[in-house]
Amino acid sequence: MDSSFTDRKVLVTGGASGIGLACARAFRAAGAQVVALDRASGPSDLDTVHADVAYEASLSGAVTTAVERLGGLDVVVGCAGISGPVGTPLVDTSAADLAAVLAVNVTGQLLLAKHTYPHLSTGGAIVFLASDSAFVATPGMAPYCASKGAVVALTRALAVELNRVRVNCVCPSVVDTPMARSDLGDAAIDQADFPVQTADDVARQVLFLAGPHSRPVNGHALLSDFGYSARSGFPA
């Protein structure tokens, strides 16, 4: 049995679905106490506090509730995110589209760190979900790519500023979750001719960055994309 997080107190945003839910379950399986923070309801066996990460009053109140329930805080995982426009040409992308994506994906992560840091134990960890879209792009998702690039920069900024905890992020390629199925369609996932990760794959990456085996790792963006971005443009 994995007991690497025994009695650790973990808060996971976006914990009602997809990668966040997989993280919540993986931490629990490793012995942690877990509270999820989400604007949606998750499975009934998951202790969930409802809040919208993009609204500071909503988020800070939920963090207070979660910390009270847990009796402290050792690990924070920021999975709440939205994709925004998919397949939308730049000329059809509005400032409102961009603002909506940045509000959840960037402001939500910054506010999460702001309101959890005072509660986090020394030696604790923050892990954000960024994306390979911070480094590589497909056309029609400019707001999402911009938001994930910002999460990588935010990770580095907070790793430097927050001296009691480590701050890292995970940058996965396509993951089989409700978000990916809604954006790409079931067929694109079920008959994919490219490698697709599972939410459990990503949860293992998050647990590594949150746990003692990554003790010297801080300010890092873990790019998990099966090596696709490593390939040269030279046709060899």
Ligand X SMILES: NC(=O)c1ccc[n+]([C@@H]2O[C@H](COP(=O)([O-])OP(=O)(O)OC[C@H]3O[C@@H](n4cnc5c(N)ncnc54)[C@H](O)[C@@H]3O)[C@@H](O)[C@H]2O)c1
Given the rule CB under 6 A, which residues bind ligand X? 14, 16-20, 38-40, 52-54, 79-82, 104, 108, 129, 131, 172, 174-175, 177-180
Catalytic residue among 55, 117, 144, 228: 144
Tokens of 201: 């794959």
- The answer to whether 198 and 176 have CB atoms below 8 angstroms apart is yes
Name which of 87 and 123 has its Cβ closer to ligand X: 87
Shortest Cβ distance from residue 11 to ligand X (Å)? 12
Residues 6+ apart with CB under 8 A from 143: 84, 85, 93, 97, 98, 100, 101, 102
Name which of 53 and 232 has its Cβ closer to ligand X: 53
Provide the total of helices (H) and of strands (E) in the chain, helices listed first: 8, 9
- Amino acid symbol at 170: V
Shortest Cβ distance from residue 194 to ligand X (Å)? 12
Name which of 53 and 67 has its Cβ closer to ligand X: 53
Shortest Cβ distance from residue 51 to ligand X (Å)? 6
Name which of 116 and 177 has its Cβ closer to ligand X: 177
Name which of 121 and 224 has its Cβ closer to ligand X: 224
Rounded to 10 deg, the angle between the 142-161 and 95-102 helix axes is 40
175 vs 21: CA distance, rounded Å = 13
> Does the annotation count 228 as an active-site position?
no
230 vs 212: CA distance, rounded Å = 28
- The answer to whether 27 and 6 have CB atoms below 8 angstroms apart is no
11 vs 48: CA distance, rounded Å = 10
Shortest Cβ distance from residue 7 to ligand X (Å)? 26
Shortest Cβ distance from residue 121 to ligand X (Å)? 24
The set of catalytic residues is: 144
